[in-house]
């Protein structure tokens, strides 16, 4: 019953050692600061934590192994999530957001039982027509259609309210960012017939246009109903464009023709935190500039410099 | 002519390809054979430009090899999730005007409306081959193309390779299964100890099996007879 926890114990002992306790203490400290923040960003934090756990579960590659070889696999996954959530959730009990403790744990309770990797085989042929041969969006939208519809509708319905639509919109954008976690084969990459710089620019242009299509109307309605927020709404959109640009750059910086998955979770989390902690903004810019240069260099192994 | 001069590639300071000097005739089918770990895939990756050599030059007809001229069909490629075969093929520009997607999909028995994730390994390989045939490439690199293919597809692939060659393409094939290479290749090159040690022509292919695998066979028999 505790095989999964045993594996985690060995992994943490081997990879982190004492550092594990330092990270737990840091996570608890940051969590307390966020939930106790005077600008009341606790609900944002809940949304982000929920998204991160959801995203982790959705993308983890050991589910098939765990389900096949471990007894009561879902209970084991559930226990793992509940325990790893504690350093973040316990601090909210000491703030005005005490109820978020229960929201988070209830949400995490459900995750292993959600059939996130649903085996539906609907092709939704309109997706092919809308996105033509943009395989990143065809595949991403097809995989996340229900989440995208729910989040965009939620953002639209809540758009006259303060902050709430931004949480929904932020989660929507994050689902779009997750499209870039999958690598294409080298043949697909080369099919673009673009140079590394051209490829990076065209992917960014295409991505920005698509997120703007959903973000702009909602931010506009929100700004009309809440004129004091228009500056923040502009910053929100600009920052999301920066995250998108960085996500694309990070993907191609670490792209390898033999790996189907791109892993840049830690940098992405720092980028996301930068939306709420302005001190991290320069770091986000540095990440982008560094990653873009790295991506262009790495792509030169797969694409001709001039086309 | 594809000319390779003083090619040296190392991984973690350990040489994988060492001082390779060899020329390959254009418009020929070249087989590359060698035991596991002999560097066949690394050689192809260097040839394709995915890996940068520490030293050496690779010239195709005295000019730098462009990545857009190379079709690389690897042993195990991955595909984007939740894409149909037809959507996958639509990503590739049709620069080969003769390419008939429907006909070829029919010959290869590929349902184009199906999600690729429902395809078998052999079907995925055939789909990848179609994607490369759609484009007018100069150099075709097949890394273990016959693995995972049924007899019919194997035959179709051999015929496609011959046809590509008749159209003037230069083709490289690495394969563990050497029998199909005998009927296809103009030359078979033996990669051993990080370098090409010998090239064989059709008239001395019978030597190939003995020289490439003979030593290994003897070692295998001896080890197994002692261990089992």
pLDDT at B116 > cutoff 80: yes
* Percent of chain A residues past pLDDT 90, beyond the cut: 39
**Residue A139 and residue B72: Cβ atoms within 8 Å?**
no
Instruction: Tell me the pLDDT tens digit for each residue of A85-134.
Output: 999 999 999 998 889 899 899 988 888 887 655 555 678 888 888 888 89
Task: Please tell me the distance in Å from B135's CA to the nearest CA on chain A.
Answer: 9
Residue A24 has pLDDT above 80, yes or no: yes
**Does A187 contact B90 at a Cβ distance shorter than 8 Å?**
no
Q: Which pLDDT does position B152 carry in this prediction?
A: 82
The pLDDT value given to residue A141: 92
Instruction: Compute the average pLDDT of residues A198-216.
Output: 95
Of A98-102, A177-181, B70-74, B223-227, where does mean pLDDT reach its minimum?
B223-227
Question: Chain A partners of B77 at a C-beta cutoff of 8 Å?
Answer: 185, 187
pLDDT at position A240 is 93
> What mean pLDDT comes out for the span B104-110?
89
Report DSSP state, residue B204.
G
Averaged pLDDT of chain B: 88
| Token pair in block for residue A262 | 């791109």
Given a cut of 80, whether residue B148 has pLDDT beyond it is: no
Give me the residue from B72, B77, B115 closest to A121, CB to CB. Answer: B115
Specify the pLDDT at position B84.
93
Q: What is the pLDDT of residues A212-251, one digit of tens each?
A: 999 999 999 999 999 998 998 999 999 999 999 999 999 9
Find which of B48, B91, B138, B142 to mutate to test the A interface (most A CBs within 10 Å of its CB).
B91
What's the mean per-residue pLDDT of chain A? Answer: 86
Instruction: Choose the closest CB to A193 out of B49, B68, B71.
Output: B68
Give the minimum alpha-carbon distance from A15 to chain B in angstroms, rounded to a whole number.
Answer: 23
Using the predicted structure, report yes or no on whether residue A11 has a pLDDT greater than 90: no
Inspect the interface and report whether the beta carbons of B131 and A191 lie closer than 8 Å.
yes
Give the pLDDT band (50/70/90) at residue A262.
low
Of the residues B72, B76, B87, B89, the best mutation for testing chain A's interface (the one with the most A CB atoms within 10 Å of its CB) is: B87
CB contact under 8 A, B91 and A182: no
Shortest Cα distance, chain A CAs vs residue B71, angstroms: 8
Tell which of B82, B86, B116, B130 to mutate to test the A interface (max A CBs under 10 Å): B82
Given a cut of 60, whether residue A290 has pLDDT beyond it is yes
Distance of alpha carbon B127 from alpha carbon B110, whole angstroms: 8
Show contacts of B16-19: CB within 8 Å, 24+ apart. B16/B42, B16/B194, B17/B42, B17/B43, B17/B46, B17/B53, B17/B194, B17/B195, B18/B193, B18/B194, B18/B195, B19/B195
Does residue B25 register a pLDDT over 90?
yes
Q: How far is B67 from chain A (nearest CA, A)?
A: 6
Inspect the interface and report whether the beta carbons of A138 and B50 lie closer than 8 Å. no
Confidence (pTM): 0.80
Question: For B75, which residue in chain A has the nearest alpha carbon?
Answer: A258
The pLDDT of residue A27 is above 70: yes
- Each residue of B146-172: b (16+ CB within 10 Å) or e? bebbeeebbebbbebbeebbeeebbbb
Across residues B161-189, what is the average pLDDT?
89
Q: State residue A149's pLDDT score.
A: 92
CA-CA distance, B75 to B85, in Å (whole number)?
19
Pair type for strands B139-143 and B170-174: parallel
A254 close to A262: Cβ distance less than 8 angstroms: yes
Question: CB-hemisphere CA count at 13 Å for A79?
Answer: 12
| Lowest mean pLDDT across A19-28, A285-294, A297-306, B158-167 | A19-28
Find the residue in A nearest to B53 (Cα). Answer: A301
Q: Which whole number is the average pLDDT over B141-159?
A: 86
Question: Which residues in B lie closer than 8 A to residue A123 (C-beta atoms)?
Answer: 84, 113, 115
Report the residue from B50, B52, B80 with minimal CB separation from A188: B80
Partners of residue B116 in chain A, C-beta under 8 Å: none
Mean pLDDT of B189-210: 86
A185 contact residues in B (CB cutoff 8 A):
77-80, 128
Alpha-carbon gap, residue A284 to A275, rounded angstroms: 9
Q: Measured between alpha carbons, how far is A29 from A87 in angstroms, rounded to an integer?
A: 9
A68-92 burial, b at 16+ Cβ within 10 Å, e below that, comes to eebeebeebbbbbbeebbebbbebb
Give the mean pLDDT of B155-170.
89
Residue A264, pLDDT above cutoff 70: no
* Range with lowest mean pLDDT among A10-14, A30-34, A302-306, B207-211: B207-211
Is B49 within 8 Å of A302 when comparing Cβ atoms?
yes
Measured between beta carbons, which residues in chain A are less than 8 angstroms from residue B88? 135, 188
For residue B91, give the nearest of A123, A135, A303 by CB distance. A135
């Amino acid at each position: 019953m505790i095989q999964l926890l045993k594996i985690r114990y060995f992994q943490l002992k081997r990879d982190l050692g004492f550092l594990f306790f330092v990270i737990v203490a840091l996570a608890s400290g940051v969590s307390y600061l966020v939930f106790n923040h005077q600008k009341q960003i606790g609900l944002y934090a809940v949304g982000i934590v929920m998204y991160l756990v959801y995203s982790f579960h959705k993308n983890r590659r050991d589910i098939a192994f765990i389900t096949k070889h471990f007894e009561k696999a879902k209970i084991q996954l559930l226990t793992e999530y509940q325990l790893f959530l504690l350093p973040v959730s316990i601090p909210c009990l000491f703030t005005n957001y005490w109820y978020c403790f229960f929201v988070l744990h209830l949400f995490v309770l459900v995750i292993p039982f959600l059939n996130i990797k649903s085996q539906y085989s609907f092709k939704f042929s309109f997706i092919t027509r809308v996105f033509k041969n943009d395989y990143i969006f065809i595949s991403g939208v097809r995989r996340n259609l229900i989440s995208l519809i729910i989040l965009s509708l939620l953002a639209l319905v809540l758009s006259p309210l303060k902050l709430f639509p931004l949480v929904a919109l932020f989660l929507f954008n994050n689902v779009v960012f997750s499209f870039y976690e999958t690598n294409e084969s080298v043949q697909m990459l080369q099919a673009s017939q673009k140079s590394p710089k051209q490829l990076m620019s065209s992917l960014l242009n295409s991505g920005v246009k698509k997120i703007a299509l959903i973000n702009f109307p909602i931010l506009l309605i929100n700004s009309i109903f809440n004129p004091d927020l228009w500056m923040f709404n502009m910053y929100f959109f600009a920052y999301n464009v920066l995250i998108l640009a960085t996500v694309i750059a990070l993907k191609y910086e670490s792209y390898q023709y033999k790996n189907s998955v791109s892993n840049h979770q830690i940098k992405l989390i720092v980028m996301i935190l930068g939306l709420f902690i302005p001190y991290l903004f320069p770091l986000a810019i540095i990440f982008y500039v560094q990653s873009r240069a790295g991506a262009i260099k790495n792509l030169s192994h797969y694409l001709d410099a001039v086309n | 002519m594809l000319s390779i001069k003083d090619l040296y590639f190392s991984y973690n300071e350990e040489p994988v390809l060492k001082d390779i000097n060899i020329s390959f005739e254009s418009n020929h089918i070249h087989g590359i054979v060698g035991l596991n770990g002999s560097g066949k895939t690394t050689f192809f990756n260097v040839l394709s430009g995915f890996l940068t050599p520490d030293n050496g030059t690779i010239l195709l007809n005295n000019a730098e090899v462009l990545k857009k001229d190379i079709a690389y069909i690897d042993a195990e490629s991955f595909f984007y999730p939740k894409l149909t075969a037809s959507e996958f093929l639509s990503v590739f520009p049709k620069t080969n005007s003769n390419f008939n997607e429907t006909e070829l999909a029919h010959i290869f028995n590929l349902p184009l409306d199906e999600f690729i994730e429902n395809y078998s390994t052999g079907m995925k390989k055939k789909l990848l081959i179609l994607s490369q045939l759609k484009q007018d490439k100069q150099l075709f690199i097949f890394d273990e193309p016959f693995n995972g293919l049924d007899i019919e597809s194997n035959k179709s692939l051999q015929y496609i390779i011959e046809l590509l060659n008749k159209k003037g393409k230069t083709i490289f094939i690495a394969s563990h299964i050497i029998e199909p290479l005998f009927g296809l290749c103009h030359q078979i090159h033996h990669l051993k100890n990080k370098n090409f040690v010998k090239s064989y022509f059709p008239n001395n292919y019978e030597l190939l099996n003995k020289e490439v695998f003979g030593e290994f066979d003897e070692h295998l028999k001896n080890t197994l007879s002692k261990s089992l």
